């Protein structure tokens, strides 16, 4: 049984993103009020705001956690054309702040000439690396060569994608058979420009990222993109949020022994759903990649699952106020939980816009615990 829970996030403007940490006991939210808030889950299951601070001089689009082996580290990106890295410091025994924690800015990344629209830490097996994408159509990849000194970040790669970038996702596969890879989506509204999703792969010989694939069938603006966790598959699965929900399978084709270019893929679209009947703003996988959540302008989060025949279908519809909706079978869904926010009236929150972007997010927390979220767009809160 799932329970809908509302959290008074106390942001002064639209919340654009919510991000769980690795263990699912902490989350961060960011807003057009230029702030980031960190929330900790107490023993009784309540979420408490333990830190709140101004991070940027413009709307904060995204916030994301680094893997905990690198410490308690956050990255944020903003309309002010910068990305920032933050680290939590716990007061020393001789400090007035003994036992209390506070977040300090370790670095500001200022290479973008336009709004930085997404920021993501690379999978931990790659080290402490951070990718940003910007409205200027450039993906930038930074590395912290010394994980003990987070004030030093070097720009390793600048990749021009030609189209305005809106979202980025690393391929989480740690298999040696899969070189580092990321996908980037574009929210360019001109449908004449096909291929709004591009896949880039790292080449060990050239030590550069090169384009491996363009999904030419995606011609509408892309709002979010997410590689599914890979637990040993030989192929990759990619979810895309555009005017509908799409799931692609990328099957690597066998390379010739002398081939030096990027991997070629057989691209298969395995599912496409327009059940939201509106723009889809976020897609998010659970940890085992067996369940996909999507959120859209219809005010609902929808859950998608594949059977053993790889046929995907809707298994749950989560309404903004937590009340159940009938699923595709016409029966009330068993999974009828989302978590709201009291930032605005729950009937209106999915219609808000700020600085040209709409706040939508459907995140999954890590596995094995029930979670809730203060996300403004009513995120699913279980895994």
Q: Note the pLDDT of residue 358.
A: 41
By the 8 A CB rule, do 239 and 226 touch?
Answer: yes
Alpha-carbon gap, residue 91 to 75, rounded angstroms: 21
In the block, tokens 């990619």 appear at 238
Report phi then psi at 54, rounded to 5: -75, 130
pLDDT at res. 153? 96
**147 token code pair:** 């994980």
Quote the tokens at residue 322: 């937590």
Rounded Cα distance, 176 and 357, in Å = 38
Return the pLDDT at 86: 97
CA-angle at 313, arms to 309 and 316, nearest 5°: 135
Give yes or no for a contact between 363 and 379, defined as CB atoms under 8 angstroms apart. yes
Res 100: pLDDT: 63
Q: Look at residue 354 in the predicted model and tell me its pLDDT.
A: 35
Phi first, then psi: what are they for 114, rounded to 5°?
-135, 180
Residues 6 or more apart whose CB falls under 8 angstroms from that of 130 comprise 75, 83, 85, 109, 119, 120, 121, 122, 141, 142, 143, 144, 153
Sheet holding 116-121, edge to edge: 116-121, 129-134, 138-143, 154-160
Using only the alpha carbons of the chain, give its radius of gyration: 20
Q: What is the dihedral of CA 168, 364, 61, 39, to 10 degrees?
A: -140
How many CA atoms lie less than 13 Å away from 175 in the CB half-sphere? 12
**pLDDT tens over the chain, length 383 residues:** 456 678 888 999 999 999 999 999 999 999 999 999 999 999 988 999 999 999 999 999 999 999 999 999 999 999 999 999 999 998 754 555 555 678 999 999 999 999 999 999 999 999 999 999 999 999 999 999 999 999 999 999 999 998 999 999 999 988 887 899 999 999 987 777 778 999 999 998 899 999 999 999 999 999 999 999 998 888 999 999 999 999 999 999 876 654 667 888 999 999 999 999 999 999 999 999 999 999 999 888 899 999 888 899 999 888 877 666 654 443 433 333 333 332 233 223 333 333 334 444 555 665 443 333 333 344 444 43
Candidates 96, 92, 124, 119; CA nearest to 108 is 119
The confidence score (pLDDT) of residue 97 equals 54
Question: Are 304 and 292 a contacting pair, CB within 8 Å?
Answer: yes
> What is the 3-class SS of 134-157, one letter each residue?
ECCCEEEEEECCCCCCCCCCEEEE
């Amino acid at each position: 049984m799932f329970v809908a829970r509302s959290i008074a996030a106390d942001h002064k403007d639209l919340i654009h993103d919510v991000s769980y940490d690795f263990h699912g006991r902490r989350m961060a939210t960011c807003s057009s009020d230029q702030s980031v808030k960190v929330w900790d889950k107490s023993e009784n299951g309540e979420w408490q705001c333990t830190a709140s601070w101004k991070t940027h001089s413009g709307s904060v689009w995204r916030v994301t956690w680094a893997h905990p082996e690198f410490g308690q580290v956050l990255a944020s990106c903003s309309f002010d054309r910068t990305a920032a890295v933050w680290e939590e410091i716990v007061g020393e025994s001789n400090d007035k702040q003994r036992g209390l924690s506070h977040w300090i800015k370790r670095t500001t990344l200022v290479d973008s000439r336009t709004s930085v629209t997404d920021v993501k830490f690379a999978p931990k097996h790659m080290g402490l690396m951070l990718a940003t994408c910007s409205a200027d159509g450039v993906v930038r990849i930074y590395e912290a060569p010394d994980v003990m000194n987070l004030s030093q970040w070097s720009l390793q790669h600048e990749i021009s994608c030609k189209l305005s970038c809106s979202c980025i996702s690393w391929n989480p596969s740690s298999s040696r058979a899969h070189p580092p890879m990321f996908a980037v989506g574009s929210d360019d509204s001109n449908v004449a420009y096909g291929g709004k999703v591009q896949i880039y792969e790292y080449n060990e010989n050239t030590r550069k990222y090169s384009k491996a694939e363009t999904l030419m069938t995606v011609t509408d603006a892309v709002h979010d993109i997410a590689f599914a966790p890979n637990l040993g598959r030989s192929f990759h699965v990619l979810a895309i949020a555009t005017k509908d929900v799409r799931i692609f399978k990328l099957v690597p084709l066998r390379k010739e022994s002398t081939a030096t270019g990027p991997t070629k893929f057989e691209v298969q679209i395995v599912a496409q759903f327009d059940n939201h009947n509106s723009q889809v703003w976020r897609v998010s996988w659970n940890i085992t990649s067996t369940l996909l959540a999507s959120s859209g302008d219809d005010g609902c989060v929808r859950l998608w699952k594949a059977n053993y025949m790889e046929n995907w279908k809707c298994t749950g519809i989560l309404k903004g106020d937590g009340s159940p909706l009938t699923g595709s079978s016409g029966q009330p869904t068993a999974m009828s939980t989302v978590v709201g926010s009291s930032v605005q009236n729950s009937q209106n929150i999915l219609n808000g816009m700020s600085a040209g972007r709409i706040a939508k997010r459907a995140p999954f927390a890590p596995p094995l615990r029930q979670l809730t979220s203060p996300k403004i767009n009513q995120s699913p809160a279980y895994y």
